[in-house]
């Protein structure tokens, strides 16, 4: 009993210490309070409004819709299909992303810059573009299935087609996340193992791979959530393989049943939140610090020819598929009528620019506004979660991931319901689009930031504060330069996802502010594939230019006026 009392007193004293430290740091307290209010308003509040919408029918409490939906066999079939597709896509995407990242950072294979470019191509266009290319190449009238192999009943619909498309579309998320962590791992740790006689495979299995566990788990989580909440690809390639997102979209847009559709879509939260909690529990039990601030001596490592050949062949096969898919999109944009008149023409681009110039301008403005805000808020939250102890830490960590787990169509509906009346009238403005894009993409930055910060010994930042530097100065000139790879990952993902987002903003666009992806979807629905492909090529070109600009911005973080890094 005495031991129990002692432990209780220790825990109480620990909480009192955290409270005193929190109250003694007014800057930290203001940041936490501001973030808490911001996250509640744009993360929890829309979900609460959706739940109210589901449970109340014409201001009358009516929960019978839950029983009706959960007794529907189609619902549980869609639920199982979503989980199966999510797990398989996340597993394959994480494996391919890890191979690409390891090849780029740890191998001596040739063509690293080329493969790095190929690995980022799938994220610079809407994911459903891969589905269009899949149909054009391998469908019943596909260029390969019908033109080369003369198959009359070729079908790409169902689980197999979706698995290929989602794996190719989402593996860059895992690649960028894992690559940033591999770059932060101190090579001397692996050198020490090899100097003791361990083989390269043993070092990889017992040192490198365990240190990458945070990135591997978070990559799996991000792809899993992205996969089960995607509705563009299942809508085009699902066929009889119906997922929760495609069924919810059908109910909302086809049957005009917002209550049932929202209930179906919001049920995706359960597996998403469970995956998030499992990942957090696993990572919190381990330490992954390798960057300590101590001098590191570079060592000449002998080349492993077999490893380099394996990495080159594997990356080449995946790169060939990516080039084939996106090459098809480019080819469609350059011909007059696919399958009818294959003559080269720029008519699709002329029509796209003359008709969609305002869409292109609006997309660019909104993405440029959302990108730096997403990166800044994401890094601040990651820093607070990893480095600080304060009240409300779990709330900030959970709520920052919540809107990423919520399907985009549900988030859009929640924002329309929540911010269409006083005192928060934001519908039809650029602000609601920027905020929606921020919250849909912020979790990627938080994951990348927390993974990088776990690799860095806190004593580096403590040394700065011990020399009299303030917390803001230390964060800007010490912490941010050390996690530049995470910032670059966040800004790239934020800009690309802002330019290519569909589900989260399709209900939020207006006559004043619209997005290029909405125009692409409209052209696809009207069977103007050439024009839709031209818009995609324009979008990809804009994103590639942004890659170079963002790289220069991130490389200058922490640079003084004299050109030296702090």
Q: How confident is the model at residue 301 (pLDDT cuts 50, 70, 90)?
A: low
User: What are the residues facing 456 on neighbouring strands?
Assistant: 291
Computed over its alpha carbons, how large is the radius of gyration of the chain? 25
d(CA 92, CA 84): 12
Residue 285 CB-density burial (10 A; 0-12 exposed, 13-18 middle, 19+ buried):
exposed
**pLDDT of res. 92:** 94
Residue 15 scores a pLDDT above 70: no
Asked if 321 and 118 touch (Cβ cutoff 8 Å), the reply is: no
pLDDT at 144 over 60: yes
Q: How confident is the model at residue 17 (pLDDT cuts 50, 70, 90)?
A: low
* CA quadruple 143, 527, 502, 545: dihedral sign: positive
Contact indicator for 456, 184 with CB cutoff of 8 Å: yes
- Using alpha carbons, select from 292, 300, 312 the residue that is nearest to residue 194: 300
Q: What interhelical angle do 45-55 and 408-418 show, nearest 10?
A: 90
- Residue 520 C-alpha from the chain's centroid: 21
In the predicted structure, residue 79 carries a pLDDT above the cut 80: yes
The predicted structure's pLDDT at residue 460: 74
Reply yes or no on whether the pLDDT at 84 is more than 50.
yes
pLDDT per residue over 255-287, tens digit each? 778 788 888 878 877 777 776 666 666 555 444
At 56 the three-state DSSP class reads: strand
In tens, the pLDDT along 186-219 reads: 676 666 766 776 677 777 777 777 777 778 888 8
Q: What is the DSSP letter of 41?
A: I
pLDDT 10s digits, 408-451 = 777 887 888 888 877 778 888 888 999 988 888 887 778 778 87
pLDDT at 388 over 80: no
Residue 549 has pLDDT above 90, yes or no: no
Up-side HSE of residue 493: CA atoms within 13 Å toward CB? 31
Mean pLDDT of 101-108: 85
Strands 60-61 and 56-57: antiparallel
Burial-class residue 51 by CB neighbours within 10 Å (0-12, 13-18, 19+): middle
DSSP structure class, residue 72:
-
Planar angle of CA 219, 447, 294, nearest 5 degrees = 105
User: Residues 67-70: contacts with CB within 8 Å, 24+ apart?
Assistant: 68/260, 69/260, 69/263, 69/264
497 token code pair: 């996802």
Cβ-proximal residues to 507 (8 Å cutoff; 6+ apart), any chain: 409, 412, 413, 415, 416
Q: What is the pLDDT of residues 493-533, one digit of tens each?
A: 788 888 878 777 877 887 788 888 878 877 877 778 788 88
The residue assigned the tokens 């009358």 is: 60
User: CB within 8 A of 35, min separation 6: which ones?
Assistant: 377, 380, 381, 384, 396
Tell me if 485 sits within 8 A of 179, measured CB to CB: yes
> What percent of the chain has pLDDT above 70?
83
2-11, 177-186, 349-358, 433-442, range with the lowest pLDDT: 2-11
Per residue in 111-140, pLDDT tens?
888 888 888 778 777 777 788 788 878 877
Check pLDDT > 50 for residue 2. no
Residue 240 phi/psi, 5-degree rounding, is: -80, -10
pLDDT beyond 90 at 89: yes
For residues 268 and 279, what is the distance between their CA atoms, to the nearest angstrom?
17
> For residue 210, what are the contacts with CB-CB under 8 A and spacing of at least 6?
none
Q: What is the DSSP letter of 303?
A: P
């Amino acid at each position: 009993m005495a031991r129990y009392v002692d432990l209780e007193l220790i825990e109480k004293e620990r909480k009192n210490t955290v409270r005193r430290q929190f109250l003694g740091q007014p800057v930290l307290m203001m940041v936490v309070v501001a973030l808490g209010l911001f996250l509640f308003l744009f993360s929890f509040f829309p979900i609460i409004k959706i739940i109210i919408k589901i449970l109340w029918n014409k201001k009358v409490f009516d929960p019978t819709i839950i029983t009706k939906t959960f007794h529907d066999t189609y619902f549980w079939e869609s639920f199982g299909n979503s989980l199966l597709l999510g797990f398989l896509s996340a597993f394959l995407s994480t494996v391919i992303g890890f191979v690409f990242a390891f090849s780029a950072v740890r191998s001596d294979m040739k063509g690293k810059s080329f493969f790095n470019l190929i690995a980022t191509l799938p994220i610079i266009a809407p994911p459903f573009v891969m589905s269009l290319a899949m149909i054009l190449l391998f469908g019943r009238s596909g260029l390969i299935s019908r033109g080369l192999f003369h198959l009359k009943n070729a079908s790409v619909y169902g689980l197999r087609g979706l698995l290929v498309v989602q794996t190719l579309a989402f593996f860059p998320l895992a690649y960028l996340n894992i690559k940033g962590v591999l770059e932060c791992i101190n090579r001397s740790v692996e050198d020490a193992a090899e100097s003791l006689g361990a083989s390269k495979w043993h070092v990889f299995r017992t040192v490198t791979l365990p240190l990458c566990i945070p990135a591997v788990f978070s990559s799996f989580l991000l792809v899993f959530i992205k996969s089960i909440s995607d509705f563009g690809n299942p809508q085009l390639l699902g066929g009889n393989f119906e997922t929760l997102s495609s069924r919810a979209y059908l109910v909302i847009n086809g049957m005009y049943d917002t209550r049932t559709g929202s209930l179906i879509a919001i049920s995706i939260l359960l597996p998403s939140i469970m995956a998030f909690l499992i990942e957090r529990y696993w990572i919190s039990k381990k330490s992954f610090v390798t960057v300590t601030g101590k001098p590191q001596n570079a060592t000449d490592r002998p080349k492993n020819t077999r490893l380099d050949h394996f990495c080159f062949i594997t990356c080449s096969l995946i790169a060939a598929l990516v080039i084939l898919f996106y090459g098809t999109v480019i080819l469609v944009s350059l011909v007059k009528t696919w399958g009818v008149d294959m003559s080269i023409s720029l008519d699709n681009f002329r029509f796209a620019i003359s008709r969609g110039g305002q869409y292109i301008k609006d997309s660019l403005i909104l993405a440029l506004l959302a990108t730096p805000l997403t990166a800044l808020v994401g890094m601040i939250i990651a820093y607070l979660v990893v480095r600080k102890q304060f009240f409300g830490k779990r709330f900030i960590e959970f709520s920052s991931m919540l809107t990423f787990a919520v399907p985009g169509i549900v988030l859009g509906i929640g924002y329309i319901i929540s911010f269409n009346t006083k005192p928060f009238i934001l519908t039809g403005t650029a602000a609601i689009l920027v905020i929606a894009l921020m919250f849909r993409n912020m979790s990627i930055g938080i994951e990348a930031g927390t993974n990088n910060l776990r690799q860095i010994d806190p004593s580096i930042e403590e040394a700065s504060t011990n020399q009299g530097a303030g917390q803001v100065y230390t964060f800007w000139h010490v912490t941010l330069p050390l996690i530049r790879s995470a910032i670059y990952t966040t800004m790239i993902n934020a800009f690309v996802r802002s330019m290519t987002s569909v589900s989260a903003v399709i209900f939020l666009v207006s006559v004043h502010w619209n997005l290029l992806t909405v125009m692409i979807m409209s052209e696809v629905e009207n069977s103007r594939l050439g024009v839709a492909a031209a818009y995609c090529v324009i979008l990809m070109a804009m994103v590639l230019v942004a890659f170079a600009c963002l790289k220069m911005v991130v490389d200058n973080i922490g640079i003084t006026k004299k050109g030296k890094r702090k």
